[in-house]
């Protein structure tokens, strides 16, 4: 009969003696009673990742704000890992597996190998599209245009085209892109013939008639006619009084979604500065109808330190296979490009 009476929770020899007696309890395993707060934080992190749409938007559009930067919640995992190691908490370490699994289920596909910029885009049934907000204060529109032409993309959509900058873009891109159309401050340059070009009215209520930020055109590709939309949704603002202000953008997204839903052509490509990520519920009227790329984060804004992809390339009855960002051009956005399988 074992006469050992030690009941502490430390000491290798004491713990071994308790094991031989069959009287060890969970409290005697170092780390099992430590880190319960860390485990709770890990579970809360996982819940935010998986159920972000449950977070209400009634107070300062906090739900949309969280969804705009949703991938960055993963940065909390290294912090919790360090805390669990310092606490020597087995519970904290095991609980970390839950948010890791949640993050990987949401964004793991984006970690797959991305695009090789040297890869050509002449595979059968595949085109390359490029989207760029060139900035209305771009100091070198001609230089930006030359950079975009060098990508050899089949479709190039531009936003914030000012009357003074438009001639520079048109002149530089004319030889490589013989077909182009502009409406207001948005434009489309194409290697394919364009027809049925028209304005898409995505003005929120109360915005004057001079605010034109949407166009639609039919591109005649080798795989058939494709409806190409170019759009620039209103900007969002973040401030102490109104929080994440996105009402105008959300209203414009509804109008754009209605236009796409009414589109008669099966194949649709949307190129635009949507001032929103695909995770943001504010973009749901559009993103629910279209698919985005399955690989590559391709953050596009701000250009100096990209934190989110608010420029989008999406498609219907076609597949956006991969998306990648390009170097700075003098704009506060990075250009993004994507392969699209038709």
Contact present, 62 and 55 (Cβ < 8 Å):
yes
Q: Residue 64 has what pLDDT?
A: 77
Beta strands in the chain (DSSP E): 126-133, 155-159, 179-183, 186-190, 194-199, 214-221, 224-232, 237-239, 243-245, 268-273, 311-316, 319-325, 336-341
Question: What pLDDT is stored for residue 236 in this prediction?
Answer: 82
pTM above 0.85, yes or no: no
Q: What is the dihedral of CA 199, 279, 138, 136, to 10 degrees?
A: 40
Q: What is the pLDDT of residue 9?
A: 46
pLDDT score at 26: 47
Cα distance between residue 134 and residue 166, in whole Å: 11
Regions in the chain scoring below 70 on pLDDT: 1-33, 60, 110, 112-124, 238-244, 294-295
H-assigned helices in the chain: 12-21, 36-50, 62-68, 76-87, 90-95, 97-107, 141-149, 166-173, 247-261, 284-287
CATH number of 118-341: 3.60.10.10
pLDDT at 322: 86
List every span in the chain annotated with CATH 3.60.10.10: 118-341
Gyration radius of the chain's alpha carbons: 26
């Amino acid at each position: 009969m074992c006469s050992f009476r030690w009941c502490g929770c430390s000491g290798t020899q004491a713990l071994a003696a308790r094991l031989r007696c069959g009287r060890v309890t969970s409290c005697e395993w170092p780390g099992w009673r430590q880190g319960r707060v860390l485990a709770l934080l890990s579970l809360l992190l996982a819940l935010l990742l998986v159920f972000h749409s449950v977070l209400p938007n009634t107070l300062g559009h906090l739900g949309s704000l969280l969804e705009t930067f949703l991938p960055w919640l993963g940065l909390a995992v290294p912090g919790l890992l360090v805390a669990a190691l310092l606490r020597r908490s087995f519970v904290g370490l095991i609980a970390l597996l839950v948010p890791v699994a949640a993050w990987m289920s949401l964004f793991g596909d984006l970690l797959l190998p991305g695009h090789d910029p040297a890869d050509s885009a002449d595979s059968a049934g595949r085109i390359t599209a490029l989207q760029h907000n060139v900035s209305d204060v771009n100091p070198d529109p001609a230089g930006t245009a030359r950079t975009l032409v060098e990508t050899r993309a089949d479709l190039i959509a531009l936003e914030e085209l000012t009357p003074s900058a438009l001639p520079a873009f048109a002149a530089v891109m004319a030889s490589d892109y013989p077909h182009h159309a502009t409406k207001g401050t948005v434009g489309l340059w194409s290697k394919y013939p364009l027809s049925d070009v028209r304005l898409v009215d995505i003005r929120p209520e109360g915005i004057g008639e001079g605010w034109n930020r949407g166009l639609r055109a039919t591109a005649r590709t080798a795989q058939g006619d494709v409806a190409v939309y170019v759009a620039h949704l209103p900007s969002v603002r973040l401030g102490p009084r109104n929080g994440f202000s996105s009402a105008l953008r959300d209203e414009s997204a509804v109008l754009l979604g209605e236009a796409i839903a009414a589109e008669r052509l099966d194949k649709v490509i949307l190129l635009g500065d949507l001032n929103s990520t695909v995770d943001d519920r504010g973009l749901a009227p559009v993103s629910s109808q279209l698919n985005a790329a399955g690989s590559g984060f391709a953050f596009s804004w701000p250009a100096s330190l990209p934190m989110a992809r608010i420029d989008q390339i999406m498609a219907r009855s076609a597949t956006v296979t991969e998306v990648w960002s390009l170097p700075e051009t003098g704009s506060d956005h990075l250009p993004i490009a994507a392969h699209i399988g038709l």
